[in-house]
Structure 1
């Protein structure tokens, strides 16, 4: 019989005898048989044999090692009862290691929308010694305490205590003071004063240490009374009571508890890892001796459920790789780092299908490398130099992000009455700039953008999505009388019939070939016609040989092409058109821009179209260089994709050195300002900002400062991403939306928030969240769709020649990958790196060993990170 059938049989016996069951506990014994406890007020007046006959009727052949049949009054003096459990989830090593390695429903603390109730418990553990586990704990504690957190360190290395010595407090430990005495007091039902057992480590910070005890003969004797197996089989558990005591019975309730676990597979380590820990920080060096044992530990950890039973959380793994050799050869350090990352990826591969609705774990986000430092290795205790602490700051940040920040507490607002309205009002213009509504109201001017707007800059370069067309619209719509449109993207034609499509350019090139004219002459004609047909008032007239044709006011592109074809047949048309352009320049009353945008896609996307585009643009830019200073008031402004510019070859290309600007978004605040400007179009959000103390000044300035951008961002989506390495949501977004060259474009940011808003609307109906307008988890849930959109834009709109490489990457299925897996794609690999689809993960520029796909494109391709299923 099993646990469930025994329970069911006993319950039926009690019902049959009309005896009410107040409590029923069935548990397998450590060796064989069962432990059973039954509590019923109807046992009153019945002998032990009578009770047994009723309750165990039909179970006479069952081996029972422990049997309690009690009334509620008898239970009060009976002591601890066995817990009611099949013990499948007992947090001890034999049971933990025996569990299946493919657990279901893995939910980590960082997956929650709401914060964990403090204190956060982190167990520092290492399978083997000599890797700096206690040192990492001590420095992490010191960093957190220096940042105003209340930290409690407990020496759980009972067989070799030493944490107090590391803090320089060993001489202060007294007889019967420390963890061992405290646990045994709790085991005996006492309520000890924990203040008598702790040591204050710092005079200035809230940093405390609970030592294991004073290691003497009495300490060794007391160790024998610690029975972890009994504590987890009975309903009285001193380990859990200790955590509860620290959570409720001390005036200095800690924010974080750090447990220093003993090396190896010792009895106490099981509960510290599989039960008490919110975070399990595993310290190891990537030597083959550690691989198999640590792998077994991780599988056991992922199958565990922590003490936070109401949420059924899995202890969350983090990894410290230590000590990384102090080698002067980068390839040595790189080898150890990559080996560790690959091991961790393999150990966590079981997470793939178990967390399909959550962001995949990125091994580099949960791993920190600590280099060997002689001053730390040879010191008797932790050092006070903050420079020494920096190797452990990332570990402190893992824990810090589970705690509310000062900003979150200061900006705590009630959204129950306003969130629905604000979500409805939010409207992110995530399409290309051609289609954005209320464009001028949300246009963001950065220092670089202001340079690009200057008339003296004839060439504005940038990758797709960096804002070239936004510059075009700002110049066109901000001062419509100060520009002539020579070429524009199709959606912005605005009734200008002279703007040519890909089919028109094909016809133009045919006419150029027939008349033996050049693209330079075409651009002269196109510019003159654009000025002529846009001119207000008396227009400068062309040479008599041109006027009859130019006077025709076209209403369709076909008529424009016929006009250009006719003009090209005129001898010396280039000279005539140049003279005409000089007249426009002389007669314009003020400085005007000659705007050309849409060159990237305006020629089509076939290989022949792209070749035509190169010839046409080379002719255009060559013309601009030759015109030089001939034009005083007419200024060309060409907006061009950066990769196209790099592929051009024409005389005097250096003419544009110092006279061009490349759009980029290296500044985070500027990048996020693009989003926040659109958020402020919501009246509800403006009111929300005004309701905060800081927000009253936020809207009094037309230009949002960097600080104001961050404050608004935090109200919108929150400050913290608890998982991974990025302590702040803005860091998470910044890192995930970067391409392989660490470049960013605002379009993907807006696309992310379009998806996040829709996700939040759906989730809010099922799982309300009131801390921010959009919860941080909406970002992780939306990244995959943004990745698909970014990849489609890259391949379908720009670089279709990369499609075969993309198909090969889908077959490989994970990143990073070996360079030998993509042999035969040498030309495509160069382009892929140039446009940010790939970056070098390992090796040198000349000898690449492995490539990496950035997060921006990873899920869009259908790839996972190394090690994930």
Structure 2
């Protein structure tokens, strides 16, 4: 058996990567190729949705950073990103400007932003000069049409922020002259007539949509001449607009509409968006034309099974050769997802049970169900955060008590890791993400985990059922399928000081 001092050395060197994909240095090496990953790679999906922490930005980074050269070489697909992979989201700097836009103006913003992005980061990008050498005439035609549509070029820097600033300036300062539509013609087929900004236009925003038919057609000719396809990726939209507000709904409805202005299979706008935001954007009784087209290219919401998470855990632990030696891990068998081998490795990393007992769950099931929110969602981010905290706790226990476990991590360290995760979820999810609901959620502090109509009315007042619907939607509460009660998931309990048991003792059921 390895000595406690040697176990500490192994634990101290373990790096599980970051729970936040923007900072995850082992994203590619420890990737789990889920069906959504494979479907995105094969261009089956344009809309990737999932809960916070479920891996949307990880997919964004895998495609935009690691697969970008592969796709250019193997499938003639040029990939553009519309946002930074890390740091402040580019659009966040313009939140006050966005507050004054209606849905039509937002559509104009997204259209100009995407066209300007293509011009600055594709047509003028030396990275694609070899392919575009065959399409110089078509490239010039595309740029000429952009200029006639009053979409100016940047002369020096081509940062995302400056492109966004350019797009805002264009829609606010130019009145575009739109050609009359023949009877019965779809408005998306209208063309942009040359516009001449005047003094009046400097103080008025456009009240007409900017149409892209001519620019779009010119771009298609350019791509055909260059023998290329074009993907434009947009992520981190959930960090820009205040949650569950009219501004968020207006901006993202306009973005979804804008994707319909690029209907060719040679141009794909691929969006990575939280599923609760996506549902909030659409399901407000306002209607949404062409929803069936958007849904047809939407990936299944990112969900991780217990087996998927087991693979993720093993791949991240076994990036370290010392851990592989400790648990007998074989890189080839792990990469092939060999089930018997994965089970042996997992059972060497962790105890068979966190809570011992004949009817208690296995460690994998314990991890899964204790990280599960009220919607039944478990995210890689939460699993990584829990295990990273457990590693720190395990080192502390060994140094203090000199314990020597058969597994690399012990059950007590895992329980304490859950407590750390729960406290973090309170700060970074419940309070930070949903400030409008926090006054309601805070009333559950230091209560019991299970509630019924009477205890909920006592806590929340006569409109408790309306409030509860929102708390269920964000995963803070879960409706029990075989009763009329609601339960607070394990992952939120410690951070809120909530104990196991029923809060309605003394109330009628």
- What range is the shorter-chain TM-score in? 0.7 to 0.9
Q: Does 1:671 align with 2:309?
A: yes
1:825 is displaced (CA, Å) by 3.2
- 8 Å Cα contact 1:434-1:469 kept in structure 2: yes
Q: Does 1:661 align with 2:299?
A: yes
1:747 is displaced (CA, Å) by 0.9
- 8 Å Cα contact 1:698-1:704 kept in structure 2: no
Give secondary structure in 2 for the equivalent of 1:640: strand
Q: Deviations over 1:630-664 (max 9, x none)?
A: x2322111111111111223212122233212333
- 8 Å Cα contact 1:415-1:772 kept in structure 2: no
What is the aligned partner in structure 2 of residue 125 from structure 1?
none
Q: Does 1:467 align with 2:105?
A: no
Aligned pairs for 1:466-505 (under 5 A) are 466-481=54-69, 482-488=78-84, 490-491=86-87, 500-505=90-95
Selected match of 2:39 from 448, 451, 454: 451
Q: Which has the higher strand share?
A: 1
**Cα distance, 1:635–1:826 mapped onto 2, change above 3 Å:** same
Structure 1: distance between partners of 2:301 and 2:433 = 18
What is the aligned partner in structure 2 of residue 532 from structure 1?
119
Structure 1: distance between partners of 2:13 and 2:408 = 11
Q: Does 1:775 align with 2:410?
A: yes
Give secondary structure in 2 for the equivalent of 1:487: coil
Q: Does 1:717 align with 2:355?
A: no
Give secondary structure in 2 for the equivalent of 1:484: strand
Q: Does 1:433 align with 2:36?
A: no
Q: Does 1:764 align with 2:395?
A: no
Structure 1: distance between partners of 2:278 and 2:154 = 35
Give secondary structure in 2 for the equivalent of 1:731: helix
Q: Does 1:618 align with 2:253?
A: yes
What is the aligned partner in structure 1 of residue 280 from structure 2?
647
- 8 Å Cα contact 2:80-2:230 kept in structure 1: yes
Aligned length: 432
Q: Deviations over 1:263-313 (max 9, x none)?
A: xxxxxxxxxxxxxxxxxxxxxxxxxxxxxxxxxxxxxxxxxxxxxxxxxxx
- 8 Å Cα contact 2:113-2:164 kept in structure 1: no
**Cα distance, 1:633–1:865 mapped onto 2, change above 3 Å:** same
1:527 is displaced (CA, Å) by 0.8
Structure 1: distance between partners of 2:442 and 2:151 = 55
What is the aligned partner in structure 2 of residue 36 from structure 1?
none
- 8 Å Cα contact 2:262-2:268 kept in structure 1: no
Aligned pairs for 1:53-92 (under 5 A) are none
1:564 is displaced (CA, Å) by 1.9
**Cα distance, 1:542–1:856 mapped onto 2, change above 3 Å:** farther
Q: Give the alignment's TM-score, normalised by structure 2.
A: 0.77
What is the aligned partner in structure 1 of residue 476 from structure 2?
837
Task: Tell me which moved more, 443-452 or 699-708.
Answer: 699-708
What is the aligned partner in structure 2 of residue 594 from structure 1?
232
Structure 2: distance between partners of 1:599 and 1:673 = 29
- 8 Å Cα contact 2:304-2:379 kept in structure 1: no
**Cα distance, 1:703–1:418 mapped onto 2, change above 3 Å:** farther
Structure 1: distance between partners of 2:334 and 2:417 = 32
Which of 1 and 2 has greater Rg? 1
Q: Which has the higher helix share?
A: 2
Structure 2: distance between partners of 1:837 and 1:676 = 29
Structure 1: distance between partners of 2:332 and 2:408 = 19
Structure 2: distance between partners of 1:557 and 1:477 = 17
Give secondary structure in 1 for the equivalent of 2:249: helix
Gaps of 5+ in 2: 70-77, 133-138, 179-191, 193-208, 283-287, 458-462, 504-509
CA RMSD in angstroms comes to 2.8
Q: Of the two structures, which has the highest relative contact order with CA contacts closer than 8 Å and spacing of 6 or more? A: 2
**Cα distance, 1:798–1:437 mapped onto 2, change above 3 Å:** same
- 8 Å Cα contact 1:453-1:471 kept in structure 2: no
Give secondary structure in 1 for the equivalent of 2:80: strand
What is the aligned partner in structure 1 of residue 73 from structure 2?
none
1:623 is displaced (CA, Å) by 2.3
Q: Deviations over 1:419-467 (max 9, x none)?
A: 2232122112243111111221122112233224432311111011111
1:756 is displaced (CA, Å) by 0.4
**Cα distance, 1:542–1:829 mapped onto 2, change above 3 Å:** farther
What is the aligned partner in structure 1 of residue 143 from structure 2?
541
Structure 2: distance between partners of 1:710 and 1:470 = 25
Structure 1: distance between partners of 2:450 and 2:52 = 25
Selected match of 1:638 from 235, 255, 271: 271
1:789 is displaced (CA, Å) by 1.5
What is the aligned partner in structure 2 of residue 114 from structure 1?
none
- 8 Å Cα contact 2:17-2:26 kept in structure 1: no
Structure 1: distance between partners of 2:254 and 2:28 = 33
**Cα distance, 1:860–1:448 mapped onto 2, change above 3 Å:** same
1:558 is displaced (CA, Å) by 6.6
Selected match of 1:580 from 215, 219, 228: 215
1:794 is displaced (CA, Å) by 2.4
Structure 2: distance between partners of 1:686 and 1:619 = 49
- 8 Å Cα contact 1:531-1:584 kept in structure 2: no
Give secondary structure in 2 for the equivalent of 1:744: coil
Q: Give the alignment's TM-score, normalised by structure 1.
A: 0.47
1:603 is displaced (CA, Å) by 2.2
1:736 is displaced (CA, Å) by 0.9
Q: Deviations over 1:58-97 (max 9, x none)?
A: xxxxxxxxxxxxxxxxxxxxxxxxxxxxxxxxxxxxxxxx
Structure 1: distance between partners of 2:233 and 2:239 = 16
What is the aligned partner in structure 2 of residue 371 from structure 1?
none
Give secondary structure in 2 for the equivalent of 1:662: coil
What is the aligned partner in structure 2 of residue 735 from structure 1?
369
